[in-house]
Chains A and B, each alone.
Chain A
């Protein structure tokens, strides 16, 4: 799905989290929103997911206005920073949640739900953990379960907030490759937020560098590295 961000701004009380920003994300791209904390990258991601509404501006999905679309209607697979797994449900129930929440007419039969959950558990390479609770998983496993849960609703896009933030370096590397692979097999337009320039540069097709609620530069990793547009970009990427 193609995403168009058209002069979006966001104010929380008197403070502006986003000055009007515009960004066009081609269908099927893997995009990184890169910036230090307080740069507005998470706010922008939450606006895409429908968890925040912009003060001004429009969001377009495939050319049609989605600014006032509810979270539920957007069908955005969202992976939260702390994963936000349902702690009282097993891994299986977590992944099945989105399918079971559908209206009766659109809800798959329970055998079909079980089949899909099993397939997703295979996709994240954790086929045997369906019966466990989130508290019995490692950080890396939780992250992958959160990804599977987001994919279960057959999302139109994938949004990830600091997906590797809480993990140690080795697991981080592994999961990076995992996300790339899942992106390539599903072909979903994917946007992830990060403050780690290596992660952004290594993983993304398109990097959006943000600072203080503004977009500093948009470009392919190699182009940004070769030609940083502003002093901030040069400094932040330590070029």
Chain B
């Protein structure tokens, strides 16, 4: 996995006279670093700090009180349910798609890869509208399901479907390059050693892709919890019922309830930070394995 920092560059003498040919001059380096730091400060840290500052502007008690509000708790619960359903399903789908694309040769492979990328290029709002047009109460399928007492649109199923649509490329995208690079040799070796298909998947394929899979799942999770556009169209924004965290934040903000809005936003940001921390912890814990896997 190429996005993991590794330190096998040989140590270079530090004196300027023996500056390595690939290194820029000190002045240029400082300028480059400064640009990055300013960018990060403006685009990442300042907004994050602002969210927390605004949430706590009337004290921690007010912030916590606003989160205990049934509207907020229902939004948090809904968002967690949506992520808990959409992410595992997309992980399974992503593995299956990546497996199919990398281990077999067939016609239309390029088309399939393009289709997997479709949610990245289609606006989430359009995706939401498509769901309404397919499963809405005035369509054949949607009407029948409403009659059976299982409405799709303006209810939990459509929120999950919309979140899945928007996040389904993440896992497959992360896995395909890794699996192409690793090839089929290890799977073939396991076959000649008498292993069955499932055994090979769990003992050879899955361990080899687990880091890419983890990154894919984390990205997928972050996006599933944060999705706004598609969910806004299909959910109907019913307070306390179909309003996810991002939707509720927007509604609270529009009503000038800034402490409530920013408290909820802070919780959403915290959830993202927790995932990031988890990832870093895992990387740190399994650093030796990662290095071993990269070197072969």
When distances are taken between beta carbons in the complex, the residues of chain A under 8 Å from B192 are: 49-51, 71, 74, 76-78, 150
When distances are taken between beta carbons in the complex, the residues of chain A under 8 Å from B204 are: 86
A77-104 residues at the B interface, CB under 8 angstroms: 77-78, 80, 82, 84-88, 97-98, 101-102
**A75 and B194 form a contact (CB under 8 A):** yes
10 more contacts with CB within 8 A, not counting A51-B188, A84-B189, are A84-B185, A85-B189, A86-B190, A86-B204, A87-B186, A87-B208, A101-B199, A134-B296, A149-B189, A153-B194
Interface flags, B178-210, vs A, CB<8A=1, else 0:
000000011011111111100100011001100
Interface flags, A130-159, vs B, CB<8A=1, else 0:
000111100000000000011011000000
Interface flags, A15-28, vs B, CB<8A=1, else 0:
00000000000000
Q: Mostly helix, strand, loop or mixed at chain B's interface?
A: helix
Q: Does A230 contact B (CB under 8 A)?
A: no
Chain B nearest CB: distance from A183 CB in Å?
A: 18
Q: Which of B191, B193, B194, B208 contacts A51 (CB 8 A)?
A: B191
Give A135 to B293 CA distance when docked, in angstroms.
Answer: 8
When distances are taken between beta carbons in the complex, the residues of chain A under 8 Å from B207 are: 88
When distances are taken between beta carbons in the complex, the residues of chain A under 8 Å from B199 are: 101
Interface flags, B283-295, vs A, CB<8A=1, else 0:
0000001001101
**A149 and B188 form a contact (CB under 8 A):** no
A192-223 residues at the B interface, CB under 8 angstroms: none
| Contact A133-B292, Cβ < 8 Å, known A101-B193, A101-B195, A102-B194 | yes
When distances are taken between beta carbons in the complex, the residues of chain B under 8 Å from A84 are: 185-186, 188-189
Q: Does A64 contact B (CB under 8 A)?
A: no
The count of chain A contact residues (Cβ–Cβ below 8 Å) is 29
Q: Does A72 contact B (CB under 8 A)?
A: yes
Q: Which of A85, A88, A152 contacts B293 (CB 8 A)?
A: A88
**B193 and A153 form a contact (CB under 8 A):** yes
Give A87 to B288 CA distance when docked, in angstroms.
Answer: 12
**A72 and B194 form a contact (CB under 8 A):** yes
Chain A nearest CB: distance from B22 CB in Å?
A: 26
When distances are taken between beta carbons in the complex, the residues of chain A under 8 Å from B185 are: 80, 82, 84
The count of chain B contact residues (Cβ–Cβ below 8 Å) is 21
**A72 and B195 form a contact (CB under 8 A):** yes
| Contact A97-B208, Cβ < 8 Å, known A84-B188, A84-B189, A133-B292 | no
B249-292 residues at the A interface, CB under 8 angstroms: 289, 292
CB<8 Å pairs between A and B, sample of 18: A71-B192, A72-B194, A72-B195, A72-B196, A76-B192, A77-B192, A80-B189, A84-B185, A85-B186, A86-B186, A88-B208, A88-B293, A97-B203, A101-B193, A133-B292, A134-B296, A135-B293, A152-B193
When distances are taken between beta carbons in the complex, the residues of chain A under 8 Å from B194 are: 72, 75, 98, 101-102, 153
**B292 and A87 form a contact (CB under 8 A):** yes
When distances are taken between beta carbons in the complex, the residues of chain B under 8 Å from A150 are: 192-193
A residues within 8 Å of B by Cβ?
A: 49-51, 71-72, 74-78, 80, 82, 84-88, 97-98, 101-102, 133-136, 149-150, 152-153
Give A71 to B188 CA distance when docked, in angstroms.
Answer: 9
Q: Which of A74, A84, A133, A136 has the most CB of B within 10 A?
A: A84
Q: Which of B192, B195, B289, B292 has the most CB of A within 10 A?
A: B192
When distances are taken between beta carbons in the complex, the residues of chain B under 8 Å from A97 are: 190, 193, 195, 203
B192 — nearest CB in chain A belongs to which residue?
A78
Give A135 to B188 CA distance when docked, in angstroms.
Answer: 19
When distances are taken between beta carbons in the complex, the residues of chain A under 8 Å from B188 are: 51, 78, 80, 84
Chain B nearest CB: distance from A154 CB in Å?
A: 10
Chain A nearest CB: distance from B187 CB in Å?
A: 9
A75 — nearest CB in chain B belongs to which residue?
B194
B156-174 residues at the A interface, CB under 8 angstroms: none
Q: Which of B185, B186, B193, B293 has the most CB of A within 10 A?
A: B193
Q: Which of B191, B199, B204, B207 has the most CB of A within 10 A?
A: B191
Give A153 to B189 CA distance when docked, in angstroms.
Answer: 12
Closest 6 CB pairs of A and B: A98-B193, A84-B185, A78-B192, A101-B195, A84-B189, A135-B295
A155 — nearest CB in chain B belongs to which residue?
B192
**A86 and B189 form a contact (CB under 8 A):** yes
**B296 and A135 form a contact (CB under 8 A):** yes
**A88 and B292 form a contact (CB under 8 A):** yes
